């Protein structure tokens, strides 16, 4: 796979795929991690005097121009982050506009291209669209691991027509995730939470073969509890997947993987009801109550597993963390990792938007060896699937 160490890019016109799908609340970016992650690659390309055209998506405009999903607002932010005087903006991909912008720019400058998902050809992976776009450029760089599980033009299509190079952030993501899968330090523990088991069946089926302990939390634990005939009141549950939950538990036993489920819970009538909170054993959840967080006994169980581990992988919060006080379980586990991981030399990796948000909310980022900016791509890689974008880079022979 071509990268900056084995493929030189000097005085070239570069199509650079980034993931600038940043979280925005009230017109303010709440997390700039994805912007910061591409800075090493951008700086190298600027230093080597290239004309850089950044491609990204933002939101889901569904192949139509929608001003609320325009990337133009990012120009001033990128200018500040990259510490440069100007960011050009390319409003559309008409041939005349592309050529005009290339002529207008000097080598060693950056142009941000309007949301690539404004074009229906992008998500359809239209070969002709990829070919037409490629003819104006010399090199393609993919530095968007978090988008590389998509078979889109800006991820896989361009690699058929241009020399294609892996950016530094993409390689860093792969190396860090692979260190947990290919060179595990034992004993190792995976903490898997979130709301639905349906999105993580393949993940769990792969992790039971790789980890000594898997801790199941969040609403997805309810499906496991339900499959074990434990009453969970009105809690969120995927009853149709109880057989899958049973099979995962059997598979875990066969691979000598310890599966840890909640032994107590924090319940209420709903996420906004703070007046009727109940703390109970997991087998004592009342018929009209909803499980919204793990209890103290479960927190202590998880802490013990962490302190006895050499590696920790975390994906998914352990409760309804967006609603206090149901963030306590997730926050306490984050603080435990922050307090002990470095002293005990525990390698720790975390991925998934909600998980990262909860860890940042707990101000526990310093406890983790690596924080992945990828969401779906992170999960697919842990499932044992190589992302289409990575395959495309490896196959590139232009």
Confidence of residue 358 (pLDDT cuts 50, 70, 90): confident
Q: Tell me: pLDDT of 375 over 80.
A: no
Which segments within 94-206 are labelled E, that is strand? Answer: 109-113, 139-142, 164-166, 188-192
Give which of 301, 321, 303, 306 is closest to 362, Cα–Cα. Answer: 321
- pLDDT at res. 71: 97
- What percentage of the chain exceeds 70 in pLDDT? 100
Is residue 23 pLDDT above 90, yes or no?
A: no
Neighbouring CB atoms inside 10 A of 85's CB total 7
Residue 107: per-residue pLDDT: 97
Ranges of each domain in the chain: 13-171+387-395, 184-367
User: Could you check whether 13-171+387-395 and 184-367 share the same CATH topology?
Assistant: yes
**pLDDT attached to residue 353:** 75
pLDDT score recorded for residue 99: 98
Mean residue pLDDT across the chain: 94
Q: Residue 7 gets which letter from DSSP?
A: S
Q: Average pLDDT for residues 219-230, to the nearest whole number? A: 97
- Map tokens 């799908």 to a residue: 21
- Tell whether the model's pLDDT for residue 188 goes beyond 90: yes
Res 203: pLDDT: 92
pLDDT score at 183: 81
In the numeric block, the tokens 């071509």 are attached to: 2
Say whether pLDDT at 333 is over 90.
Answer: yes
Give bridge partners of residue 279 from the DSSP assignment.
266
Q: What is the pLDDT of residues 142-178, one digit of tens each?
A: 999 999 999 999 999 999 999 999 999 999 999 988 8
Beta bridge partners of 278: 267
E strands of the chain, at which residues? 13-17, 24-25, 28-29, 51-55, 87-90, 109-113, 139-142, 164-166, 188-192, 213-216, 258-260, 264-268, 278-281, 290-294, 311-315, 347-350, 370-371
The residues assigned a catalytic role are: 34, 196, 353, 376
Residue 352 has pLDDT above 90, yes or no: no
Domain 13-171+387-395 architecture: 3-Layer(aba) Sandwich (3.40)
Residue 27 — left, alpha, or beta (φ > 0 → left; ψ -120 to 50 → alpha)?
left
Confidence of residue 31 (pLDDT cuts 50, 70, 90): confident
- Write out pLDDT tens, residues 84-139: 999 999 999 999 999 999 999 999 999 999 999 999 999 999 999 999 999 999 99
Q: Give the model's confidence band at 250: pLDDT under 50 very low, under 70 low, under 90 confident, else very high.
A: very high
Mean pLDDT, residues 263-267: 97
Q: What's the pLDDT score for residue 378?
A: 87
Q: Please give the model's pTM, rounded to 2 decimal places.
A: 0.88
pLDDT band, residue 275 (cuts 50/70/90): very high
CA distances from 184 to 180, 188, 207, 230, 362 (A): 5, 7, 12, 34, 27
CATH for 184-367 is 3.40.50.1260
Q: Which pLDDT band holds residue 355 (cuts at 50, 70, 90)?
A: confident
């Amino acid at each position: 796979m071509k990268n900056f160490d084995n493929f030189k890019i000097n005085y070239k016109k570069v199509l650079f795929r980034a993931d600038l799908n940043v979280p925005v609340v009230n017109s303010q970016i709440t997390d700039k991690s994805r912007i910061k992650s591409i800075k090493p690659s951008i700086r190298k390309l600027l230093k080597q005097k290239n004309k850089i055209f950044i491609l990204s998506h933002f939101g889901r405009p569904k192949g139509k121009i929608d001003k609320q999903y325009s990337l133009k607002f990012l120009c001033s932010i990128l200018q500040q982050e990259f510490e440069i005087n100007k960011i050009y903006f390319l409003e559309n991909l008409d041939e005349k506009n592309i050529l005009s912008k290339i002529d207008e720019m000097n080598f060693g400058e950056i142009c941000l291209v309007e949301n690539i998902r404004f074009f229906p050809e992008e998500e359809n992976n239209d070969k002709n669209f990829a070919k037409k776009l490629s003819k104006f450029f010399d090199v393609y760089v993919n530095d968007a691991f978090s988008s590389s599980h998509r078979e889109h033009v800006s991820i896989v299509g361009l690699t058929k027509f241009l020399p294609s190079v892996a950016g530094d952030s993409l390689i860093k993501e792969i190396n860090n995730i692979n260190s947990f899968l290919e060179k595990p330090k034992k004993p190792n523990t995976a903490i898997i939470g979130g709301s639905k088991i349906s999105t993580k069946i393949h993940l769990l089926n792969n992790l039971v073969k790789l980890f000594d302990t898997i801790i199941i939390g969040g609403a997805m634990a309810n499906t496991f509890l339900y499959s074990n005939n434990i009453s969970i009141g009105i809690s969120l549950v995927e009853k149709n997947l109880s057989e899958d939950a049973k099979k995962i538990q059997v598979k875990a036993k066969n691979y000598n993987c310890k599966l840890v489920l909640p032994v107590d819970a924090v319940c209420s009538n709903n996420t906004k009801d703070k007046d009727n909170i109940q703390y109970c054993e997991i087998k004592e959840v009342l018929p009209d109550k909803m499980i919204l967080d793990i209890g103290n006994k479960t927190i202590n169980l998880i802490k013990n597993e962490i302190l006895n581990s050499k590696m920790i992988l975390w994906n998914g919060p352990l409760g309804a963390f967006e609603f206090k006080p149901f963030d306590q379980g997730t926050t306490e586990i984050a603080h435990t990792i922050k307090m002990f991981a470095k002293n005990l030399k525990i390698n720790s990796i975390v991925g998934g938007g909600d998980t990262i948000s909860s860890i940042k909310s707990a101000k526990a980022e310093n406890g983790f060896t690596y924080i992945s900016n990828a969401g779906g791509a992170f999960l697919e890689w842990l499932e044992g699937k190589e992302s289409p974008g990575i395959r495309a880079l490896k196959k590139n022979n232009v």
